[in-house]
Amino acid sequence: MLTDKMRQQIEKDIKDNKVVIFMKGNVQAPMCGFSARSVQILQSYGVPIKAYDILQDEALRQGIKEFTNWPTIPQVFINGEFIGGCDIVTEMHENGELAALISSQ
């Protein structure tokens, strides 16, 4: 369940970090193919990534889904904006939108 405290922490983290990913596993050891693919794409831009392993925190796993109203993991935020999951990140990477978004601001 998304508590006020959790909502405030998520909002702060996505505001304070250019790229945030809520994923299964961590950047060094993703625990699912979709998380791995998303991290690989994001790392190709050479920007710092703030990652949260939702497998370590069931409350966060449910909370982030409520926060975005998005049912799947990973969830990627860039410049404080919810982008989506692996398919959207991959599509934006392939068509150049992701590069433009990451290089902005």
Q: How far apart are CA 85 and CA 76, in angstroms?
A: 6
pLDDT at 105 over 80: no
- Entry pTM: 0.95
List pLDDT tens digits, range 17-45. Answer: 999 999 999 999 999 999 999 999 999 99
- Phi, psi for residue 92 in degrees, rounded to 5: -65, -35
Determine the CATH number of domain 4-103.
3.40.30.10
* H-type alpha helices, the chain: 4-16, 33-43, 58-68, 86-95, 97-103
Give the 3-state secondary structure of residue 50.
strand
Q: How far apart are CA 46 and CA 43, in angstroms?
A: 5
Q: In the chain, what are the domain boundaries?
A: 4-103
